[in-house]
Amino acid sequence: MVDYLNDIYSDDHEAAYDILLLLGTIKGSCSPAKQHLFIERLIACMDSNIPFHLRHAALRAAHSAREEIASIDTIDDARLREMVLTNLSPAIMSVVCLHPSPMPANDGSDRFFDYHRDLCYLEIIFALARNSIWHPHLSQDRHIDRCISMIPKYCNSEYYSQHAFYIAGILLQIAPEQSSDTSLDSVTEQQWWDTHDLELLVFVERTKKYMQIASISDLQNLIGKVDDVLDNMEPEMELNMQDLEEEGAVTIAVKKLRNTARNMLESLVNNC
């Protein structure tokens, strides 16, 4: 499929789109021998002259191969390493930041914010950020700026999303090494709290989902940990939170988690 994509991507966009969609569903999109060609064509399909739907399909294919791409420094092919580190990051940015204005394109086809595309993008950048070799590239290519621009959109108290989890994770992994990056100076204390606020809510919901398989000792340990979190969190929130409603949203969610765990523990003990 990679060879066929190479033959037709510039002339037959619809066929290239179908191939990229298929590659995007396959974990480990190609053999090591074809990896160089595959990534070259991914980058080519992200070019600004390519139709938006094909660029987005290329982004999804990169998402499928994100773990391999993130560990590109472990391969022996120095030429491939250099090509990926130099060219892939700006190509990814061009897909999600095509328009400098937050207004959508005239046909509404390529918006500055797009829920599913942005989640795909954040999961890719989160994977890359776990490897420090990518940090200077992500900073230089303005991925930090892009993540910061997403905070008002995806990190607020009205709803929580996975986006907030990944935004917080990306910034926390990159920020220590890129402390000289002025992009991080634009993040206000409130915005930092907003990202952690939403990250915590996602964690709470996921914990409640998988709590059904917990043992008595697991639940006892969880309740103790949550008690510690609440003891440490409430004074900190009083210092940092300006909006009491936001404070309530977090503490209520965590207390509900504790109550759910206590009820489940009581049920397990009574049934013993």
Rounded CA Rg of the chain: 22
Q: Residue 107: its pLDDT value, please?
A: 42
- Sequence ranges of the domains in the chain: 214-272
pLDDT tens-place values along the chain, 272 residues long = 787 777 777 778 888 888 888 887 776 556 677 788 888 989 999 998 889 899 999 999 999 999 989 998 888 888 889 999 999 999 999 999 865 434 444 444 457 788 899 999 999 999 999 899 999 999 899 998 898 888 878 876 455 567 877 887 787 777 555 444 555 555 555 555 555 555 555 556 656 666 677 788 878 887 887 787 677 656 655 554 444 444 555 577 678 778 888 888 888 888 87
The DSSP secondary structure of the chain, one letter per residue, reads: -HHHHHHHTTT-HHHHHHHHHHHHTSSS-S-GGGHHHHHHHHHHHTSTTS-HHHHHHHHHHHHHTHHHHHTGGGSS-HHHHHHIIIIIHHHHHHHH---SSSSPPTTSSS-S--HHHHHHHHHHHHHHHTSGGGHHHHHHTTHHHHHHHHHHHH-BTTB--HHHHHHHHHHHHHTTTTTT-GGGGGS-HHHHHHHHHHHHHHHHHHHHHHGGG--HHHHHHHHHHHHHHHHHHHHHHHHH-S-HHHHHHHHHHHHHHHHHHHHHHHHHHHT-
CA distance 261 to 87: 48
